[in-house]
Structure 1
Amino acid sequence: MRGQPLATWLPGKYQLPLLGPWLHLKEVALLFSWLGCLYDLTIWLFLWWRKSRGLAYVAVLAFHLLTYVLFPRIGMFPAIMICGTLIFFSEGWHQRVLSWLPGSSFASDGPTAKTTPLARQKLITYGLGLYLAVQLCLPLRYLAFPGNLFWHEQGYRFSWRVMLMEKNGYTSVILRDPATHRQHEVRQEAYLTPFQRQQMRS
């Protein structure tokens, strides 16, 4: 690993407090790359194990908050992962949290055992099986499209690829009066935020 693409991206974040002065170093890009790799490969194990779950979730918070600070264009992904990771916590933990909400019907003395009818169990099993099949097949659909995936992008979304490429371009908006044939270029910064202009270019 050569620390790419972080070695290219991180120096542009020099204005960040505390971290900024260090982000131009190649060693920092390598460190972030390896730590990110280790995080992705092992975090689920620490979340699975009850004794390490709390510290692992702190690592989840740190990782995704840092990701958002460094790459705000990533959008809702950090928030979704922070919330989605709570699935590793026990049923009792979720019920205790929900019991704090006003008007909650969850008792604070722990979960109660309930029996599920056989037909409903089968429905849940088949539903989960279908869901898992979709989650497995959807990321692989890009194989059905010929050509360079990173050029035509058919099947790129939901294909287990995160921030593997970046596109930039130039946009201009021209207003033309059909009656007088006069035209002028619109100053986009007068109507769009910097984030909106960036989204148009990428």
Structure 2
Amino acid sequence: MKKLFLPVDNSPLIIFRIFFGFLLAAETFGAILTGWVRDNFIKPKFTFSHIGMEWLQPLPGDGMYYYFATMGVLGILVMLGWKYKWSLSAFTVLWTLTYWMQKTSYNNHYYMLVLVCLIMIFLPANRYASLDARQNPEIKSLTMPKWCSLVMIAQVAIVYFFATVSKFYPDWLDGTFTKNLLAHKSENPFIQEIFHQKWFYLFIAYSGILFDMLIVPMLLWRKTRTIAFIASLIFHLFNAITLQIGIFPFFALSFAVFFYPPEKIRALFFKKKPKPEGNEPIYQNKSVLLYFFIPYFLIQIALPVRHWFIKGDVLWTEEAHRLSWRMMLRSRTGYSTFKVIDKKTGERLPYSLYSSLTDKQIAMVADKPDAIWQMAQRIKKVFAKHGKDVSVFVDCHVSINGRPYRQLIDPTVDMAAAKWDYFGHNDWILLYDEDNKPTNQSSSN
């Protein structure tokens, strides 16, 4: 335990704060400039919030533009280290609300941002090269406890470990997914020809496994660190170009500063910074490590394994898919028909999804069980306002990785009356045996 509190040069944490704040600003201002805010918060009549957060809806009018602009300004303040804890705490709250508010354009790096923001609130990242340290020299410090770097390394290690484990399934191992993924990534005939070569898409598949599996150990070992960083640079730049996933590749690269000796980071980024002296343990934030970070990492380990305790294949059911670092694993397409029945008369009532949903939302309710359930609840409320008590039945068929379509939702179940089990399997999601026959469909079907 004593080694965790030994003082080390805080240069990695300081430069990461600067990178991080810049990326926060780039993400949020970029979301406005690219139309992402417009498409996901302004145009929709409502958003598919995370279940339990349906009350959390976008601000009216142009409110979400101001909301994201505020986050952009807060990101700049984090980068400059001005009112650091206040600025980052405010950003964390606003970003977390944004994360909960919509999942039509869900991305794992949005979740990663929530976690890293939360971690950084508890780290002394404003003790050097910050406006806070300039205005209040008493907080200025050249060192930090060693555990401050280790918690960032631990978070990265958890992400890559579970990203590796999740790839060990047939469609990844035989290249099916990577072949489909690369199929339409370029209009250049020469590049397309390469992407269609079996050796190439298998190379991408197994490179992905090896990268996720080895990158953290190789960054930790001095002899392979530079090779690992170069590999990481190539890997993430390739993803940035082919997958177009925003700041995430650069965000992932920025964690490399915690793997290098602090003295090297100081020499590279803070040439005028004095060399810290003394080796007395720093115990001021011991309670933070014991009572926040230890429970935090236990939760981070538990969340990605929870799907193994839920009946059915998570690739099919989507149950416990989120918060599990199951990144870029499968393609999923489907189509759904919602049948609304007046309980009193038995009459089928007209309802058009296209009148209330955007194209992205239509695609979501076509194959995502949670969105289908939420849509059924919303339809029930819409008709209830007109004094009608309705049942909602859904005919939904889904294809995973281009395989034949199969029925996802039990068409005999009234989805307006169905319950959502957040921690277990929902029986209205059909499961199949080895002969491709439903194993849990209602006997009334």
Give the alignment's TM-score, normalised by structure 2: 0.34
Shift of 1:79: 2.5
2:255 counterpart letter in structure 1: G
SS of 2:184's partner is helix
Shift of 1:98: 4.5
Match of 1:110 in 2: 275
Q: Distance in 2 between matches of 1:122 and 1:16?
A: 56
Residue 128, structure 1, aligned to residue 299, structure 2: no
Shift of 1:164: 1.9
Match of 1:103 in 2: none
Query: Does the 8 Å CA contact 2:306/2:320 hold for their aligned counterparts?
Result: yes
Residue 161, structure 1, aligned to residue 326, structure 2: yes
Match of 2:265 in 1: 94
Over 3 Å counting, the alpha-carbon distance change for 1:92 and 1:126 in structure 2 is farther
Match of 1:179 in 2: none
Shift of 1:169: 5.5
List aligned pairs for 1:51-62, cutoff 5 A.
51-62=223-234
Match of 2:307 in 1: 142
CA RMSD, 1 decimal:
3.3
The correspondence for 1:46, drawn from 218, 234, 243, is 218
Could you list the runs of 5+ residues in structure 1 that have no partner in the other structure? 101-105, 172-184
- What do the CA deviations read for 1:91-112 (whole angstroms, capped 9, x no partner)? 2233334426xxxxx71x4343
Match of 1:201 in 2: 363
Q: Distance in 1 between matches of 2:189 and 2:212?
A: 26
1:32 counterpart letter in structure 2: I
SS of 2:325's partner is coil
SS of 1:161's partner is coil
Shift of 1:75: 4.2
Q: Distance in 1 between matches of 2:225 and 2:270?
A: 21
Query: Does the 8 Å CA contact 1:92/1:111 hold for their aligned counterparts?
Result: no
Q: Distance in 2 between matches of 1:111 and 1:75?
A: 37
Match of 2:249 in 1: 78
1:142 counterpart letter in structure 2: H
Shift of 1:163: 1.6
Could you list the runs of 5+ residues in structure 2 that have no partner in the other structure? 1-172, 337-353, 365-445
Q: Distance in 1 between matches of 2:229 and 2:298?
A: 28
Match of 2:174 in 1: 2
Deviates more, 1:147-156 or 1:127-136: 147-156
Match of 1:33 in 2: 205
Over 3 Å counting, the alpha-carbon distance change for 1:142 and 1:110 in structure 2 is same
Sequence identity percentage: 26
1:80 counterpart letter in structure 2: F
Shift of 1:17: 8.5
Q: Distance in 2 between matches of 1:50 and 1:68?
A: 27
SS of 2:295's partner is helix
Q: Distance in 2 between matches of 1:114 and 1:137?
A: 36
| Higher strand content, 1 or 2 | 2
Shift of 1:22: 0.8
Question: What is the number of equivalent residue pairs in this alignment?
Answer: 175
Over 3 Å counting, the alpha-carbon distance change for 1:115 and 1:7 in structure 2 is same
Over 3 Å counting, the alpha-carbon distance change for 1:199 and 1:10 in structure 2 is farther
Shift of 1:85: 3.1
Shift of 1:2: 1.6
Over 3 Å counting, the alpha-carbon distance change for 1:143 and 1:51 in structure 2 is closer
List aligned pairs for 1:177-192, cutoff 5 A.
none
Over 3 Å counting, the alpha-carbon distance change for 1:26 and 1:123 in structure 2 is same
Q: Distance in 2 between matches of 1:37 and 1:29?
A: 13
Q: Distance in 1 between matches of 2:255 and 2:189?
A: 29
Over 3 Å counting, the alpha-carbon distance change for 1:79 and 1:17 in structure 2 is farther
Query: Does the 8 Å CA contact 2:177/2:331 hold for their aligned counterparts?
Result: no
- What do the CA deviations read for 1:71-126 (whole angstroms, capped 9, x no partner)? 22x444323211223321222233334426xxxxx71x434335345463354244
Q: Distance in 1 between matches of 2:256 and 2:361?
A: 28
2:289 counterpart letter in structure 1: I
